[in-house]
Amino acid sequence: MKIKIRPKQKKKKIAETKVEPQETHEPKTTIFTKIKKIFSKDRLSVVEHKLEQDKKKEELDKKKKEKRQKIKSLRDEKDIRKLVKKEVKQKMTKAQRKKFFEEMIEKAGLDSRLKDIQKIIIQVSVVFVIIETIFLVFNYITHGAAIVKLIMDTFALLTLGIILHYFVFLLLFFIVIDVKIYNRKKSVEEVLPEYLQLVAANIGAGMPIDQSLWLAIRPQFGVLSKEMEVVAKKSLTGTNLNIALKEFADKYDSILLRRTINLIIEGIDAGGPLAKLLDKITVDIIDTKIMKKEMAANVMTYVIFIMFASIGAAPFMFGLANQLIIIVTGLIGSLDLSSMQSSTFSISGDSVRLEDFKIFAMTVLGMTATFSGFITSIIKNGNIRDGLKNIPILIIISFLIYLGSSKLMSVLFSGFF
């Protein structure tokens, strides 16, 4: 068989057709068209600028209105607060004040009522006024004063003196009560960790919380034992234990006591293991006490410096000044200064009296001793009430050092002058 071979066909080249862009016939730009465009752009820009200004004005007006409303609301709130304060002040009637003072007396641990205390204060003030009037009459009779002046002074003393003495003794009574409340709070805080350890041991032994609180009471706990007796009695008689504990915590202005009571109430509500919780609370209380003692020890240098300046150095310097006054008055008295004196300038030995200086020194030393006691108590314990018991001792020590230093200086300088 014959095989025919076909000749290869030549491929036709496809003519590439290039698409040429059509020419756009733009209108010719003249000077007039350019001016029109500029004016149209300016008009658009002016309109846009006006719109932006209007928007900004609206926003500013809104902000001003909001500020005015806020100021009005604040003024209204202030007025409301003022009205509430006035209402609270008006609501504090005599009955509420009486209740407040009776609560203070109860917190101090006193069984007497406010009426009985007021009667005692009135009686004491009357006794003091009578003693003062007797002393005044005796003084006027010895000095031979006028009868009219004596009558006027006795009348003023009997009328105004009783009122002044009453308010002074009432103020002193409430200061004593405040100090007593603070001492009770401090005694409760000192004994609290030991009491909580006993309660935790009772709960760990399987007792319920109310019985463990009752059986953990010991006579050496003092104020805390009495308060916990009241709490246990309330819980056993039917009142809720949480409410009784809350009332006990609200009696004393103690942050530590309130926190511990709140933790105990939360543990009772949650139903968790109270024994572990009480153990942790006792550890935390002991740690805080140790930290406070360390802080007081770090600040002891400042306390020593203040005490040395107020009790040691100040009385010694006043004693030296006392002896210098004696020496100067003696020297001036021995000199003949008649030729040196004139109508405008004169020197005399009686310009500073020794008795007046002694009164001045005693008052200044008493004030420095009291303020140094306050400052040292604030530095050590963070409270003025802890330093009240030390103030009489500091005053006595400063007076003794002053008298001893003045006597010593008189002995030392007696041989020289």
Residue 349 pLDDT: 52
The more confidently predicted of residues 353 and 263 is 263
Exposed (0-12), middle (13-18) or buried (19+): which is 319, by Cβ within 10 Å? buried
Q: Per-residue pLDDT for 102 more than 70? A: yes
Q: Per-residue pLDDT for 126 more than 50? A: yes
Residue 396 pLDDT: 92
Q: What six digits make up the tokens of 252?
A: 């004393």
Q: 136, 131, 132: which is closest to 151 by C-alpha?
A: 136
The distance of Cα 177 from the centroid of its chain, to the nearest Å, equals: 19
H-helix segments, 17-113: 31-91, 94-107
The distance of Cα 70 from the centroid of its chain, to the nearest Å, equals: 33
**Cα–Cα distance for residue pair 379/67, rounded to 1 Å:** 47
Please, which residues have CB within 8 angstroms of residue 171's CB and are 6 or more apart in sequence? none
Share of the chain above pLDDT 90, in %: 6
**Predicted confidence band of residue 43 (pLDDT cuts 50, 70, 90):** low
Residue spans per domain, the chain:
55-85, 101-182, 183-289, 299-334+350-413
**Predicted confidence band of residue 365 (pLDDT cuts 50, 70, 90):** very high
The more confidently predicted of residues 109 and 120 is 120
Give residue 179's identity as a one-letter amino acid code.
V
**Cα–Cα distance for residue pair 59/15, rounded to 1 Å:** 68
Mean pLDDT of the residues in the chain: 77
Question: Counting every residue, how long is the chain?
Answer: 417
Q: CATH says 183-289 is which class? A: mainly alpha
* pLDDT tens profile 157-178: 888 888 888 888 888 888 888 8
